[in-house]
Amino acid sequence: MNTIRGLAGKRKVAVAVKANAYGHGLKEMISLLRAEDVEYIAVHSHGEAASARAFGWDRNILVVGYIALSDLQAVIDLDLEPTVYNTETINRLGQLAKQSNKEINIHLKLETGTNRQGVEESRLEKVSTAIKKYPGLHLRGVSTHFANIEDTTNHEYASFQLETFNRLTAAVRRYGLKPDLRHTACSAALLLFDDTKFELVRPGIAAYGLWPSKETYLSYRLQGGSNNILSPIMTWKTRVAQIKEVPRDAFVGYGCTYRATSKTRLAVLPVGYYDGYDRSLSNLAYVLIKGKRAPVRGRVCMNLIMVDITDIKGVRLEEPVVLLGRDREEMVSADQIADWAKTVNYEIISRICGNIPRQII
Ligand SMILES: Cc1ncc(COP(=O)(O)O)c(C=O)c1O
């Protein structure tokens, strides 16, 4: 968090903790963030917000996802700051504010070219008028989200989105609203562009010590940034559930996709695709045992995998295994697993099953 605070300076910080704190465990992340100089968390849903409150988060909660009209009472009950982009939500929130005699802080999402959530320029006057109708609604923020700021080293489209954001924010002011906070900066924006930071920043992946992408890392380094400002905070471990020796020509796992070319020692590990160890890692990934690489043999099953420990001496039942993270001189990074699985590190970490116990060390 020191890195994030350093990049944010005096601006407010909303750490994105959606998707079970990017797989790190919402409860654990909340307990860490409570000890930090962080003003907001950003969640996807009111359900995540309810969990965060139950885990003791008593500061601001920005809800960046959708809250169904029928669930909006939660905004009052849990003291949330929802993101709004349609008049139906605004009207319902306005009525709830009136009924409860409370002020609701809302954040208006502006469409700048991601074409996900957000109010298009042509609808902005109508939506602004709807907000102004309700004295109980306070425009706490205006926001947008970049489409490809982490996907490329060419940031023309991000610049275009930023210009659009500035134009739309000016329009919101012309329509008589005065937002306290402007916010656009995800991790890549926070790392690369001062102009995107405004009064509040919303980093996710970088708060967990991961780069949003290779392109972001490259752009950051080309700007003269240092090599080691981020370091991953998660290690994912399991342990050996069985050890066996199979003869040459033995098949391993479903589909008989692996066949031993010589006598092979296998360790069976109690982790599979249900746990978030992607099936595409079959016959491709390796795990770390005693600081050495043990290749995955055969297909990843629902709850089990088999790894080759022929060349790793002294492996015993219940030997610790690193699936993701560092073990002595070796490392399996979320980026490496993402490359194997043809996806992004975000997906690898956020899909680690919520049932697996998390422990803060
Ligand atoms: C609206 C919004 N803001 C901020 C973030 C954080 O993005 P990142 O993890 O790239 O920092 C996300 C994540 O997807 C998001 O959806």
What CATH number has the domain bearing residue 288? Answer: 2.40.37.10
Q: Which atom of ligand 1 approaches the CA of 212 most closely?
A: 10
pLDDT tens digits, one per residue of 190-238? 999 999 999 999 999 999 999 999 999 999 999 999 988 999 999 999 9
Compute CA 35 distance to the chain's CA centroid, rounded to the nearest angstrom: 20
Provide mean pLDDT across the span 74-90.
98
Distances in Å between the Cα of 322 and the Cα atoms of 87, 156, 239, 266 are 49, 40, 8, 16
**Do 212 and 249 share a structural domain?**
no
Q: What share of the chain is helix, strand, coil (3-state, %, to 5)?
A: 35, 25, 40
Provide mean pLDDT across the span 68-84.
98
What's phi and psi for 39, nearest 5 deg?
-85, -35
Domain annotation covers residue 202: yes
Indicate the residue among 222, 257, 272 that finishes a domain.
222
What's phi and psi for 284, nearest 5 deg?
-135, -45
Total number of domains in the chain: 2
Q: Which atom of ligand 1 approaches the CA of 143 most closely?
A: 1
Domain annotation covers residue 230: no
Instruction: Please tell me the distance between residue 231's alpha carbon and the centre of ligand 1 in angstroms.
Output: 19
Instruction: Please tell me the distance between residue 17's alpha carbon and the centre of ligand 1 in angstroms.
Output: 9
Provide mean pLDDT across the span 323-330.
98
DSSP codes joined into one string, 101-166: T--EEEEEEB-SSS-SS-B-GGGHHHHHHHHHT-TTEEEEEEE---SSTTT-S--HHHHHHHHHHH
Distance from C-alpha of 275 to C-alpha of 88, rounded to nearest angstrom: 38
pLDDT at 186: 98
Closest CA to 144 of 121, 113, 170, 123: 113
Domain annotation covers residue 231: no
Closest CA to 139 of 161, 188, 115, 106: 106
285 within 8 A of 340, measured Cβ to Cβ: yes
Instruction: Please tell me the distance between residue 323's alpha carbon and the centre of ligand 1 in angstroms.
Output: 25
Q: Which residues line ligand 1 (CB under 6 A)?
A: 16, 42, 64, 145, 186-187, 202-206, 212
| pLDDT greater than 90 at residue 337 | yes
CATH of the domain at 180: 3.20.20.10
**Do 334 and 304 share a structural domain?**
yes
Indicate the residue among 222, 255, 270 that finishes a domain.
222
Provide mean pLDDT across the span 175-186.
98
Q: Which atom of ligand 1 approaches the CA of 44 most closely?
A: 16
**Do 246 and 169 share a structural domain?**
no
Provide mean pLDDT across the span 244-267.
98
Instruction: Please tell me the distance between residue 257's alpha carbon and the centre of ligand 1 in angstroms.
Output: 38
Choose one of 145, 217, 220 to mutate for the ligand 1 pocket test, by most ligand atoms within 8 angstroms of C-beta: 145
**Do 267 and 165 share a structural domain?**
no
Distance from C-alpha of 181 to C-alpha of 172, rounded to nearest angstrom: 13
**Do 113 and 50 share a structural domain?**
yes
Report the phi/psi class of residue 317: left, alpha or beta, with left for phi > 0 and alpha for psi in -120 to 50. beta
Q: Give the percent of the chain with pLDDT over 70.
A: 100
pLDDT at 227: 87
Provide mean pLDDT across the span 126-130.
98
Residue 2's identity, in one-letter code, is N
Provide mean pLDDT across the span 242-249.
98
Indicate the residue among 222, 245, 267 that finishes a domain.
222
Kindly report the protein residue whose alpha carbon is nearest to atom 5 of ligand 1: 186
Provide mean pLDDT across the span 186-190.
98
Distance from C-alpha of 44 to C-alpha of 83, rounded to nearest angstrom: 10
pLDDT at 90: 98
**Do 248 and 127 share a structural domain?**
no
pLDDT at 105: 98
**Do 249 and 213 share a structural domain?**
no
pLDDT at 268: 99
**Do 252 and 202 share a structural domain?**
no
| Range(s) of the domain holding residue 318 | 236-350
pLDDT band at 168 (very low <50, low <70, confident <90, very high): very high
pLDDT band at 102 (very low <50, low <70, confident <90, very high): very high
| pLDDT greater than 90 at residue 323 | yes
Q: What is the DSSP letter of 298?
A: S
Q: Which atom of ligand 1 approaches the CA of 202 most closely?
A: 4
Compute CA 310 distance to the chain's CA centroid, rounded to the nearest angstrom: 37
**Do 159 and 61 share a structural domain?**
yes
Q: What is the DSSP letter of 327?
A: E
pLDDT at 253: 98
Kindly report the protein residue whose alpha carbon is nearest to atom 9 of ligand 1: 204
**Do 289 and 207 share a structural domain?**
no
Instruction: Please tell me the distance between residue 161's alpha carbon and the centre of ligand 1 in angstroms.
Output: 16
Domain annotation covers residue 227: no
Domain annotation covers residue 361: no
Structure tokens at 194: 């001062």
Domain annotation covers residue 170: yes
**Do 112 and 66 share a structural domain?**
yes
CA angle 25, 205, 14 (to 5 degrees): 80
Closest CA to 165 of 149, 152, 151, 150: 149
Distance from C-alpha of 227 to C-alpha of 188, rounded to nearest angstrom: 15
| pLDDT greater than 90 at residue 162 | yes
Domain annotation covers residue 356: no
Looking at the annotation, which residues are catalytic? 18, 254
**Average pLDDT taken over every residue of the chain:** 98
| pLDDT greater than 90 at residue 52 | yes
**Do 250 and 120 share a structural domain?**
no
Domain annotation covers residue 228: no
